[in-house]
Structure 1
Amino acid sequence: MNIFNRFIVTTLLVLFASQAFATQPTVTKIERTDSKTILITFDQRIKPIADILSQPIEGIFYIKLYADTTFYLGSSTTSEARKPTPVNPNDNGFAMQWQWEESTLTAIDNDRLSEITIYLYFSDFKNSAEASLFSYTKTFNLVWQNGLTITSTNTFPANEKAASTTHTLVANDTAATFSITEDTSGFFSLSGTHNNTLTFNGTTTNYESTTKSYTVKIKATTGDGDDKNTTQTITVTLNDLNDETPTAITLTGDRTIAENTNTGTELGTLSATDADANDTFTYTSSNAKFTIDNDKLKLNATLDYENATSLNT
């Protein structure tokens, strides 16, 4: 074997050894550093791969953000591409930390999540030993939350047709001022200190209609900046009142009664038509020949065909 061939073989063996024993970069920490920034820390420095002409390839993170089955970024089958930037890279462009801005975090804050699962697929990154990264999935705490949040509940009940039902708005900063940003029904208004009293005017509402709940979007603010503004959608659910009059009474049974039928015989079952759901009814009869037991109509006297051929209850 000539010297040139020995050099090639030796070079290949060294290259193989460096690949075989190179340690794959791994993620050691994921954190949120401000309202829209996610920071990834690795156990060693990495950088985007360079091609044969020493031109850098743009390293990309392919990402999903989800909680249980709710996807805030990507879907169960797709990921979104993000180009991260290095934090304190060395002269060769290697860095242990990479970050990017993620506006989706605002939606996560609005849903008040304390943690989120992230799926990362690293494309075109390597360490100094040419070892590449693979995919990574981890649930991490959202260590930074929007500074301002609305802490009062986002639901409250109101009686149908009620003139006004109030709900107190509370934020984690007492200086917050509230405003209405969306009110399609026109039933909501604000008053009080910093507009913190939300009033629902349900005079024209009716539980028996198709609409049984109403929403309003509230904004709280203490100034400029993402961390000083937040929104909340509040839902009012109507209570069904016993405010409708029964419109009909129905007797289910045979209305033909043979004379001399025994007293106490059950003649049929009474029911009422009423728009109010789940109402209960009390029945009375103005005819002493009948008695009512709950919803059962019973004979209260012996009947004689020669005296009367029909009776009203």
Structure 2
Amino acid sequence: MSAPLLELDGLTVALGTGGVELLSGLSLVLERGERLGLVGESGSGKSLTALAIMGLLPEQMRVSGGLRFKGDDLPALPEERMRRLRGRRIAMIFQEPMTALNPVMSIGAQIAEGRRLHLGEGRAEAEAVARRLLDRVGLPGPRFDPGLYPHQLSGGQRQRVMIAMAVACGPDLLIADEPTTALDVTVQAQILDLLDEIVEETGAALLLITHDLGVVSETADRIAVMYAGRILETGPTEKVFARMAHPYAHGLFAASPYGLDLRRAPGEPRPRLKAIPGMVPDPARRPAHCVFAERCASVQADCLRISPPLKPLEAEGGRWPHLVACLHPRAGGAAP
């Protein structure tokens, strides 16, 4: 049996050897053609997970546990090997295009650069592919000439350039970190449709990082709810949305316009959003017991003694079980 495309097996990221843990024991598997949504509040560790996969963590951070791509131990690979993987086999769409695009290179040159470096194509051939990719992501010529520079485009247009760069070499894994942040609703829908089409056409796996449950519902086959550097609930999107067994996952649902709209009856006014009280804990002060206990409205005495592992919510078949890290998972639906 072949190895999974991407496998996180107890992945931990700490500041220095034996230092403060920023990510704690993450376990996820992703195969080609699958779409996994990684959700949670800011500070939960979503982007840090992506940087660990890409091998772009700061030098002072240490990785332990399993982090494998096609069976290869990514943290153990020499930097030269990782450079060959980035862009060619693993590509990332960053949250803010202007921090990832080179302001003094034309958009066509930036798209073509990956193919020239990774595939050895000549300038003319790579630039011809860049023109086709710009057209593919909705930036057709002659209005969107490859000679344009990033500052000459809008935010949504720059995001499309980032997508074109990410898929230029046909990667096996595409990581999209908040790809629709700060975009208007119409452009957001277009970007999500584009990502969906690319995954369908190429068979690439998609790791979608977002705080927007509505985006996940439209895009992801599976969902992983992350909090304070840990996975608290994961499973097929439909099952997790129907149950939201962990109090934190339920809190995200109640704080989301999508969650409220999904549950209200036609014509019924939308209730007020319910913010989760408190803040994500400082990594240096995370409790040894349940990391969500201090913010949980359903906390019980044993929650302050035990850090529960991810366990199947119930005996069930299927490829991907519904797992939850909670001593007292919620019963019933996800209605706030």
TM-score, normalization by structure 1 = 0.23
Bigger CA radius of gyration = 1
Point out the structure with the larger helix share: 2
Q: Whose strand proportion is higher, 1 or 2?
A: 1
Higher RCO structure, 1 or 2 (CA under 8 Å, sep 6+): 2
TM-score, normalised to structure 2's length?
Answer: 0.21
